[in-house]
Structure 1
């Protein structure tokens, strides 16, 4: 297998625009690498290559073991090949491949991003926070929204790696959607504590700002892998609320219960919702996740 041509020309080919017969030379993220055997008994590599616009399966049939030594899954790889149609699907027949040189491309440029404008979503988030009037909850939200580093992480994080909102900015998009649903639910059910429910909707997934890593693909941080986003969020909120006198024990407990049970009551000590607001948050969170999952991945997605 020939060495990959070294070129400093900007890469303009995008996976979403590739067609059968296209020659490809560019840098992509390798998100699958598997050594398989052909019917003839010779090894080949099955790959998935991805950029911000999508993914394409790829195959290396010649000198597969030699090629395999040149890169790993999760690397950015410089590829030369040709797009072919196989069983009604496009795939890339790779002629040459190697790990891209450091500085060839920014790994984050290969990750999928939110469909909606993040500045617009930021504005919606601030508007929703202003709908909270309780002094303790409002002070908590003001403290969180004034944290520039946290806001950047909020704009960057996905909601998941393979499920709903699985792209950069997905967390902010989901947060705004759930908080908007919470606001509407409070208009329909006036006995709900709107300050508690809207606050809980805004912060319920806040731990995801610490859950992920960003390279050629979205990964889990050590904290995300060992603790998960619910525990990370509870710790973050507890630390921030400790400096706000108006966030008394009653408010902190009510908010923590909503965050703890937003995936369902099994996380509660008695496996029951302790407030109508906790039940509402769980249902509203599930509605947005299920609808988004169905729109992006079909009705078979398990929400």
Structure 2
């Protein structure tokens, strides 16, 4: 007889049901992300586990009533878990009554995280199109060096912009980058006195530090580098490293670009506490526009979309 709290005999099949398709009475054997784990006491005085299980389509509460303490030792919050159980209706809400549960070491965490609705290949194409709108030799060489970095491009496609704010899903960084770059291109057409090469470049690189800010498991978490340094400092390091591969990227260009990156959350975020160029001010406003509007659409008006 199978241990009632051990892992099911095999992980879920590729056609396993998603949370969005579950109905009362369904028998479930699948892999989910565990995003909540609490040990509680029933009215009878026996322990049970209260869980939240997630996949890309949604979340469902789950309960482990039998041998809860034994089950608790088999996995932690933030793990991917293989689960067998039955969907029940409790107080007009679906809930999963878990018979067996254990950590799953073979699943890909990225398969359980929310992802952008936009086509990432299409966004990649827009990114390259925007880079081609930069004609200054120094900035063009810098962007070429960044776009030629295969590992950076992969993280640029994967990273979110935040964990709970705007664009808080895989691919969010690329979506936001293209949006701010597009706004920058439009702003330069409306205000031809802006240095379009500087502003478009700044728009494309301002959040590059987010490629190193996150880790990916059952949830999107902050990396140690992200916690200690933040994405602005991490991004400046990435840009500076690429600038060494751009011969025409002289000191003046590096300084102007660094100032835009440093102030893209506002002048108060920078050491000198004021904007030193119209391009820096424009980037701040354009970044805030996309972040706040996207945040309002995703979470409601009133969210501070800065990230």
Q: In the alignment, what sits opposite 1:48?
A: 52
> Structure 1: which 5+ runs fail to align?
none
1:121-169: per-residue Cα shift (whole Å, max 9, x none)?
A: 0000000001111111111101111111111111111111222111111
| Structure 1 residue 297 corresponds to structure 2 residue 295 | no
| Equivalence map 1:199-278=2 (5 Å) | 199-278=201-280
**1:35 Cα offset (Å):** 2.1
1:33-55: per-residue Cα shift (whole Å, max 9, x none)?
A: 12233455443322221112222
1:45-76: per-residue Cα shift (whole Å, max 9, x none)?
A: 22221112222222223332221111111211
Q: In the alignment, what sits opposite 1:145?
A: 147
2:53 is paired with a residue whose SS is: strand
Aligned with residue 75 of structure 1, among 76, 79, 82: 79
| Structure 1 residue 7 corresponds to structure 2 residue 10 | yes
Q: Distance in 2 between matches of 1:7 and 1:190?
A: 62
Q: In the alignment, what sits opposite 1:122?
A: 124
1:238 is paired with a residue whose SS is: helix
Q: Distance in 2 between matches of 1:202 and 1:284?
A: 12
Q: Distance in 2 between matches of 1:47 and 1:302?
A: 29
TM (normalized to structure 1)? 0.93
Q: In the alignment, what sits opposite 1:187?
A: 189
Q: In the alignment, what sits opposite 1:64?
A: 68
**1:236 Cα offset (Å):** 1.1
RMSD over equivalenced CA pairs, Å: 1.8
| Structure 1 residue 109 corresponds to structure 2 residue 115 | no
| CA 1:9–1:252: 2 relative to 1, 3 Å | closer
| CA 1:185–1:77: 2 relative to 1, 3 Å | same
**1:220 Cα offset (Å):** 2.0
| Structure 1 residue 32 corresponds to structure 2 residue 31 | no
Q: In the alignment, what sits opposite 2:95?
A: 91
Q: In the alignment, what sits opposite 2:170?
A: 168
| CA 1:300–1:24: 2 relative to 1, 3 Å | farther
| Equivalence map 1:283-294=2 (5 Å) | 283-294=285-296
> Runs in 1 of length 4+ with deviation above 6 angstroms?
none
Q: Distance in 1 between matches of 2:201 and 2:194?
A: 13
Q: Distance in 2 between matches of 1:9 and 1:39?
A: 34
| CA 1:86–1:274: 2 relative to 1, 3 Å | farther
Tell me whether 273-282 or 203-212 shows the greater mean CA deviation.
273-282
> Structure 2: which 5+ runs fail to align?
none
Q: Distance in 1 between matches of 2:277 and 2:17?
A: 52
How many residue pairs were aligned? 301
Is the 2:12–2:31 contact (alpha carbons within 8 Å) kept by the matching residues of 1? no
Q: Distance in 1 between matches of 2:279 and 2:93?
A: 47
Q: Distance in 2 between matches of 1:273 and 1:91?
A: 53
**1:302 Cα offset (Å):** 3.0
